[in-house]
């Protein structure tokens, strides 16, 4: 059998295979393509946090305020899911099976810390995602330690950085700025290609926040009486920033009933000092505030500690405006 010009003869026992030069070049190109594909797969296995740099970063957060803040900074580069929707009590929340799935798919997780979400540690442990980065947004914030500080018992010692105290830090917009910085730094660390964009988004949102808190602070200044009774200790940061005064607290600890002696003392204080407003929250039962209001003729104002808890409070800025406007209107009517 004549061998074609420009070909290679490969002999095997019993038969011969004739490969042309173009055929050999095609085989070599195919081998090179396979090696390149395997190299790409090997590279991806070394960086499990993101499947594709063009895909949004999967972020899981514990409460809605963190969802809104993350979306303000990340915009189209993040896909954010909040475990709580705004109607639940963040202290007593019980994770669902779908939460476990969401945590396993996430690249980043943002929490408040300080013992607020006592259920997070076991959720993350059960999810068992080694590439998940958990960021505690309360780091570096000056916490309030006083009689109205929220107490979580043994769970306090487990908080990141050993920080303890009242965990409702986000209700002070100054603290929200620190939380935004933590969020921005975490996004840049996992996605440095969009660093400038994240910084720009942060600056733009800070400007909106500055305008709002100036507007709301002026509204509070006109009030002659800024005292109120709190349902539970969610409001010290809010009161400190905007200049309100918490004259008493109905429920000092989550999940516990106030004693009859405490309620009697509180009712006497309201009557004696003529405190006209009780601040409750949509996430809590209204039984005790309404009972005290009936005894004292004080007015109950239902606010929300979480965005989405009430109509018109979808975002963090909406929530701040709603809470201040509702409370100042109630106080001005007295």
Q: What is the pLDDT of residues 14-28, one digit of tens each?
A: 333 334 444 434 444
pLDDT at position 7 over 50: no
The proportion of the chain whose per-residue pLDDT surpasses 90, expressed as a percent, equals: 69
Q: Which has the minimum average pLDDT: 92-96, 120-124, 317-321?
A: 92-96
The mean predicted confidence, pLDDT, of the chain is 83
- More confident: 226 or 163: 226
Instruction: Tell me the average pLDDT across 98-112.
Output: 95
| Contact assessment for residue 103 and residue 132, using Cβ atoms and an 8 Å cutoff | yes
Gap between the Cα atoms of 266 and 268, Å rounded: 5
**How many H helices and E strands in the chain?**
10, 10
pTM attached to this predicted model? 0.79
pLDDT at position 277 over 60: yes
pLDDT at position 149 over 80: no
Gap between the Cα atoms of 247 and 270, Å rounded: 9
Residues forming beta bridges with residue 277, ordered by sequence position: 299
| Contact assessment for residue 150 and residue 168, using Cβ atoms and an 8 Å cutoff | yes
| Contact assessment for residue 204 and residue 275, using Cβ atoms and an 8 Å cutoff | no
For residue 53, the model assigns a pLDDT of 60
In whole angstroms, what separates CA 286 from the centre of its chain? 26
Gap between the Cα atoms of 52 and 202, Å rounded: 24
For residue 36, the model assigns a pLDDT of 41
Gap between the Cα atoms of 313 and 204, Å rounded: 20
pLDDT digits (tens, 9 = 90+) for 209-244: 999 999 999 999 999 999 999 999 999 999 999 999
Residues forming beta bridges with residue 303, ordered by sequence position: 281
CA distances from 81 to 85, 118, 267, 275 (A): 9, 19, 42, 40
For residue 92, the model assigns a pLDDT of 80
Instruction: Tell me the average pLDDT across 110-137.
Output: 93
For residue 275, the model assigns a pLDDT of 98
81 burial level (CB within 10 Å; 0-12, 13-18, 19+):
middle
For residue 212, the model assigns a pLDDT of 98
For residue 93, the model assigns a pLDDT of 87
pLDDT digits (tens, 9 = 90+) for 48-104: 345 456 789 999 999 999 999 999 999 999 999 999 988 787 878 889 999 999 999
For residue 146, the model assigns a pLDDT of 59
Instruction: Tell me the average pLDDT across 278-295.
Output: 96
Instruction: Tell me the average pLDDT across 137-141.
Output: 96
């Amino acid at each position: 059998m004549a061998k074609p010009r420009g070909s290679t003869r490969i002999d095997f026992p019993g038969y011969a295979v004739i490969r042309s030069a173009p055929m050999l070049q095609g085989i070599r190109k195919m081998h090179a393509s396979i090696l390149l594909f395997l190299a790409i797969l090997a590279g991806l296995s070394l960086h499990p946090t993101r499947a594709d740099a063009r895909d949004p970063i999967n972020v899981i957060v514990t409460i809605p305020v963190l969802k809104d803040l993350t979306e303000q900074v990340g915009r189209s580069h993040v896909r954010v899911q909040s475990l709580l929707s705004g109607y639940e009590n963040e202290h007593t929340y019980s994770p669902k099976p779908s939460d476990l799935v969401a945590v396993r798919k996430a690249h980043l997780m943002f929490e408040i810390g300080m013992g607020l979400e006592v259920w997070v540690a076991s959720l993350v442990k059960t999810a068992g995602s080694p590439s998940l980065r958990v960021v505690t947004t309360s780091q570096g914030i000056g916490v309030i330690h006083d009689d109205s500080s929220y107490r979580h018992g043994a769970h306090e010692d487990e908080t990141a950085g050993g920080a303890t105290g009242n965990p409702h830090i986000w209700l002070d917009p100054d603290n929200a700025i620190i939380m935004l910085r933590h969020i921005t730094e975490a996004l840049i660390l996992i996605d440095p290609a969009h660093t400038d964009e994240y910084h720009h988004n942060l600056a733009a949102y800070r400007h909106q926040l500055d305008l709002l808190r100036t507007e709301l602070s002026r509204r509070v200044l006109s009030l002659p009486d800024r005292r109120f009774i709190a349902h539970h200790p969610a409001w010290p940061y809010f009161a400190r920033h905007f200049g309100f005064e918490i004259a008493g607290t109905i429920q000092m600890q989550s999940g516990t009933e106030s004693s009859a002696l405490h309620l009697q003392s509180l009712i006497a204080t309201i009557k004696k000092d003529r405190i006209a407003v009780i601040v409750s929250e949509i996430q809590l039962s209204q039984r005790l505030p309404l009972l005290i209001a009936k005894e004292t003729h004080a007015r109950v104002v239902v606010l929300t500690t979480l965005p989405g808890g009430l109509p018109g409070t979808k975002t963090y800025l909406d929530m701040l405006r709603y809470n201040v406007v509702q409370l100042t209107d109630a106080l001005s009517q007295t």
